[in-house]
């Protein structure tokens, strides 16, 4: 596969030492953590910018690297670091109301990263559609977990419906940032 047909960070990392990948994972974790702290209070889960950053990383890093970033972030949060929404961390978070969304971030990172590795999915509209699918995955898994706690209608009303407009906007912004940053990253790989 030629560098033009892989995610921009994959292309830039070809023939680079493994420390570069470690640095990308660390930077990605920091980005997701920072986006976790940008929070609008909502119940039962706050609205954050996490899904925006997950989509951004998927579009820039591809499936494996984006998933590695999200897994690392989740593992660090499970160890108790305050990397999740409202500074949460620890194993208890993975049993609570947000656990479905957290699982959704990982699945969305991989699926969206895998899709955007295809040249046909790197256009504006195609990538927007991919990121909307990513948000649907996150919200669907969040809804499934909330359904266990509050029932399907309450889960929809409090855990999905309020997030739909923001998910569309975050998808648009993620595409715009990917398209803005992509040429810069690809130039590093040359």
**What does the block give as tokens for 117?**
């590795």
The CB-side HSE value for 14 (13 A sphere, CA atoms) comes to: 17
**pTM here?**
0.91
- What value does the mean pLDDT take over residues 146-166? 94
- What value does the mean pLDDT take over residues 151-160? 94
Q: How far apart are CA 59 and CA 47, in angstroms?
A: 21
Say what the pLDDT of residue 86 is: 82
> Minimal CA–CA distance to 58: which of 5, 3, 9?
9
Binned at pLDDT 50, 70 and 90, residue 44 comes out as: low
Say what the pLDDT of residue 43 is: 64
Ranges of each domain in the chain: 3-188
- What value does the mean pLDDT take over residues 61-74? 97
* Class in CATH terms, 3-188: mainly alpha
Provide CB contacts within 8 A for 75, sequence distance 6+: none
pLDDT of 2 over the 60 cut: no
Peptide bond into 44 cis (omega under 30): yes
pLDDT of 190 over the 70 cut: no
- What value does the mean pLDDT take over residues 48-65? 96
């Amino acid at each position: 596969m030629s560098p033009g047909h892989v995610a921009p960070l994959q292309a830039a990392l070809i023939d680079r030492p493994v420390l570069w990948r470690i640095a990308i994972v660390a930077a990605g974790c920091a980005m997701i953590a920072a986006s976790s702290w940008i929070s609008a209070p909502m119940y039962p889960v706050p609205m954050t910018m996490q899904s925006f950053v997950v989509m951004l990383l998927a579009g820039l890093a591809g499936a494996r690297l984006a998933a590695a970033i999200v897994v690392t972030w989740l593992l660090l949060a499970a160890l108790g670091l305050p990397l999740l929404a409202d500074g949460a961390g620890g194993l208890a978070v993975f049993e609570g109301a947000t656990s479905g969304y957290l699982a959704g971030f990982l699945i969305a990172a991989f699926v969206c990263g895998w899709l955007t590795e295809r040249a046909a999915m790197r256009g504006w509209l195609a990538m927007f559609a991919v990121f909307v699918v990513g948000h649907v995955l996150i919200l669907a898994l969040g809804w499934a977990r909330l359904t266990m706690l509050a029932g399907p209608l309450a889960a929809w009303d409090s855990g999905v419906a309020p997030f739909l407009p923001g998910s569309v906007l975050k998808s648009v912004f993620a595409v715009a940032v990917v398209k803005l940053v992509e040429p810069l990253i690809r130039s590093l790989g040359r």
